Structure 1
């Protein structure tokens, strides 16, 4: 990464409350940042599918925000966005929490999207 890759106006903390932002806000920011690579698709916000998770926030104890591409079981490629979260009193990541995904039709496109999403997530973490 170069210095230009680490610049973003998006913050993981709400200025008014000091709380971490919602998963929905993060997914919207990833969509906005990656719009040119999404080919008309968008990242789906997993919390929108479950009423109990609707206002879910980025966990306080997250260790890393991550993005990765994976081949679909029946078709296409998926790029997931989520967090590694500390488990119990362990100082290292314990569980992965999926925030959302986008579907693309080629490994090359999915890889490019996954890399760009990861650049954004890294910049957000450093912001």
Structure 2
């Protein structure tokens, strides 16, 4: 399965980062680039349950491909969510089912940094995407 362009960009950036500090800085930068969600989108119906932080997710189907927008009140989570969006945006519903979350973050060199609760939270976000894609 070929990666979306944003995912390729992310992989190149993170694989070129020499150490954890650089990767952490990159993570924050990715989070800062997330477009803000409108107040209409930051409603309970769009909140992802299973995250310790507040995470909101909206998605729409465009020409058979899913485009998601998400944001969080926590900086680190925002970065992780941005990287998840890079991996999934533009996929079909079938491709979305095949995304391997731990593998993706391991490729980025961030696997070890995911605590159990963060990992659970990101899995909840991915599961919500799959539910929306139905």
TM-score class, shorter-chain normalisation, is: 0.3 to 0.5
TM-score using structure 2 length: 0.35
The structure that is helix-richer by fraction is 2
TM-score of the two chains, using structure 1 as the length reference: 0.37
